[in-house]
Chain A
Amino acid sequence: MPTRKDPRKNIAAGIAIVAFLLCAGLWPSPAAQAQTPAASPAGSLVYKEFVDEAGRTVRVPQPVQRIVSLAPSLTETIYALGLQDRLVGDTDFCDYPPDAQKKTKVGGAINPSLEQIAALRPDLVLVTKSLNLIQTVNALDRLGISSYGTDPHTVKDIVSSTERLAGVLGVPEAGATLGADLEHHLADLQQRLNGVPPRRVLFIVWSDPLISAGKNTFIADALRLAGATSIVDSSQDWPHMSLEEVVRLQPDFLVFAASHSDSGQNDFEILAARPGWRGLDAVRNRRFAIISDAVNRPAPRIVSAIEDLARQLHPEAFSAQPGDEKEKKIPSPAQPQAALRLLPSSSGDSALLEVCACAL
């Protein structure tokens, strides 16, 4: 039944449609040309192309003056390479070295604020495949911000990754030096542990539920280099272990990674008090090692954690060589006071090892 309201309704509908279409993304977007990088006064920038460890081709402006790091391990690496002055932003979780906490924060590693990153006008954003999201990388691409990704799976990878990164950032010499030093420490360690049977260990990521590190992680590789074999044979990265299985396998040592010696001690006590864990020799005999949580990060500092663990597991391989103590420090311009504070173990009693290692 046509009523006199009809033409008004049609007009209203028409206006509504037009208005919606306008806002629906037929919005003339000046952003359409924004594939070019944001911070470029025309012409003065040179680019070099690199292929990152995720296989992506990355155009890196030269020189790289402003870096944003989206992973704590990468932040540590930057400090280790002496490039901390060029680091303009990092994540909330970047806490080592302490100076990193003073940098401008861009949010979490998996949910950084794109705005904040963009506002810092970085030349390059560093990401790592195991922590950061591909969506973040894609979003940065769309904003015209270059991002370089690392993806180390073994300790050797960590060293070579560091060297490659140094090359990308324009300081290949520092990278080479650092790499060589790390290799030296590792080689030394290999020599000391040559012929020493590895200890069977369980590396505990989380105790309830019981989560360990899989055999393909760099943590497992680090354990190997420290003269240990992980009893975990899973190809998952973070497998859940059943206590039964662990009791059956009877590791020689439990290994905890902790940011403070106290919390590591605490972790063990809590674990030991739980029912069922008494079934483990390692628990009854209090055979556990605590190393710094540097082992969780694929950064240069992992080497010192490896050494620390080796000392705890094989003290006999390290005794009687006091002169080496000084050499054990990883040269790192940002950490003049870096120290592995080792409490002397009650010598001769390898069954009672309570060593506290506090990495700053």
Chain B
Amino acid sequence: MSSFARSPASAAARPIGDAGDFNSDIRLSVEQVSYAYSANPTQAPLFTLEATRFQARPGEIVAIVGPNACGKSTLLKLIAGSLEPLSGRVLLNGFVTHALPHRTRGQRIAMVQQESPLLFPSRAWEFVLQGRHPYGRTLRFETEEDILIARNALAQVGAEHLTDRFMDQISGGEKQRVILARALAQQPLLLLLDEPTLHLDIGAQVDLLETLRRLASANRYTVVVVTHELNLAGQYADQVALFQKGKCLRVGPPATVFQRELLEQVFQTPLTVELGSSGRPRVNMPSAK
């Protein structure tokens, strides 16, 4: 799974620099990536993401947090390679993500996001099998191996009982699990999740993060999660990146990022931070006066 052929179609996808520069320990490297979005090319950009920099290793979970419209989702798309950065680059094992051919990108990077409504609802297993698409040739039918991987993925997220159900007939939490299973079926190196906890109750939220934690260490995924839930991030992430209005204010282990003054400034509300016994911070609202 960690071996990959160099695709001849993308010259720009070869590792940058000589072997000495390439730190094999780092899987994901976001190097001074910036972005600007403007509806009209002649006008000033509506939104910018300023140069951002951080790195992640296999097995790590990185949480991206911040208020609404601070550029979290944009950063995720830049990492996924679906947007091209204005400056800087995103490297996945030394390859520029944006320059990867579509198929290869689908084999390395999996995205879990809010699903568009399904036009013709399919069954869960069909849905998960879609994750095998990057591995097939043009006219292909799924092989035994594909089916095995799909089953495995459903099992890993604890959704085997949903295999034959229609996607429009299961609950939000269950759907989220099936979507995750599809991402796992891609056998990616990088797992990206955009606000996966949005419509889940607290139990389901914890469930999801536990699963991510488990998968990340078992399968050596690098996981990047965009979330609003500060405490989930604090509890489960190895690194947290805090954003405000397109600017990355701090990157590091949760304890260093969750500083009271910093959080109050970013979220514009009084907060308290206490350290738990495991060294993980918890963010609280002060009691009402």
Task: Check if A5 sits within 8 Å of B141, measured CB to CB.
Answer: yes
> For A3, what are the chain B residues with a Cβ–Cβ distance below 8 Å?
143
Contact with B along A79-95 (1 / 0, CB 8 A): 00000000000000000
Task: Check if A1 sits within 8 Å of B135, measured CB to CB.
Answer: yes
Give complex CA distance A5, B136 in Å: 14
> For A5, what are the chain B residues with a Cβ–Cβ distance below 8 Å?
141
Give the nearest-CB partner of A3 in chain B: B143
Chain A: interface size category: under 10
Minimum Cβ distance to chain A for residue B74 (Å): 36
Seen from chain B, the residues whose Cβ lies within 8 Å of a Cβ on chain A are 135-137, 141, 143, 145
Give complex CA distance A1, B143 in Å: 9
Minimum Cβ distance to chain B for residue A339 (Å): 71
Question: Which residues of A1-59 are within 8 A (CB) of B?
Answer: 1, 3, 5
Majority DSSP secondary structure for residues of B touching A: loop
Give complex CA distance A3, B145 in Å: 10
Give 7 A-B contacts (CB < 8 Å), ordered by A residue.
A1-B135, A1-B136, A1-B137, A1-B143, A1-B145, A3-B143, A5-B141
- 6 tightest Cβ-Cβ pairs between the two chains A and B: A3-B143, A1-B143, A1-B135, A5-B141, A1-B137, A1-B145
> For B136, what are the chain A residues with a Cβ–Cβ distance below 8 Å?
1
Give complex CA distance A162, B141 in Å: 71
> For B137, what are the chain A residues with a Cβ–Cβ distance below 8 Å?
1
Give complex CA distance A3, B141 in Å: 10
Give complex CA distance A3, B136 in Å: 11
Minimum Cβ distance to chain A for residue B11 (Å): 25
> For A1, what are the chain B residues with a Cβ–Cβ distance below 8 Å?
135-137, 143, 145
Give the nearest-CB partner of A5 in chain B: B141
Give complex CA distance A207, B136 in Å: 68
> For B143, what are the chain A residues with a Cβ–Cβ distance below 8 Å?
1, 3
Minimum Cβ distance to chain B for residue A320 (Å): 85
Give complex CA distance A5, B135 in Å: 17
Give complex CA distance A281, B159 in Å: 87
> For B141, what are the chain A residues with a Cβ–Cβ distance below 8 Å?
5
Give complex CA distance A1, B144 in Å: 12
Give the nearest-CB partner of B136 in chain A: A1
Give the nearest-CB partner of A13 in chain B: B139
Minimum Cβ distance to chain A for residue B145 (Å): 8
Give complex CA distance A3, B144 in Å: 10
> For B135, what are the chain A residues with a Cβ–Cβ distance below 8 Å?
1
Give complex CA distance A1, B137 in Å: 8
Give complex CA distance A174, B136 in Å: 81
Question: Which residues of A121-136 are within 8 A (CB) of B?
Answer: none
Give complex CA distance A5, B143 in Å: 9
Minimum Cβ distance to chain B for residue A252 (Å): 67
Give complex CA distance A1, B135 in Å: 8
Give complex CA distance A107, B141 in Å: 51
Give the nearest-CB partner of B143 in chain A: A3
Give complex CA distance A313, B172 in Å: 85
Give complex CA distance A236, B160 in Å: 74
Give complex CA distance A1, B146 in Å: 11
Give complex CA distance A3, B135 in Å: 13
Give complex CA distance A316, B98 in Å: 97
Contact with B along A52-71 (1 / 0, CB 8 A): 00000000000000000000
Give complex CA distance A5, B139 in Å: 12
Give complex CA distance A5, B137 in Å: 13
> For B145, what are the chain A residues with a Cβ–Cβ distance below 8 Å?
1
Minimum Cβ distance to chain A for residue B192 (Å): 26
Give complex CA distance A3, B146 in Å: 12
Minimum Cβ distance to chain A for residue B133 (Å): 13
Give complex CA distance A105, B135 in Å: 64
Give complex CA distance A1, B142 in Å: 11
Minimum Cβ distance to chain A for residue B88 (Å): 36
Minimum Cβ distance to chain B for residue A266 (Å): 56
Minimum Cβ distance to chain B for residue A306 (Å): 67
Give the nearest-CB partner of B135 in chain A: A1
Minimum Cβ distance to chain B for residue A218 (Å): 59
Minimum Cβ distance to chain B for residue A223 (Å): 62
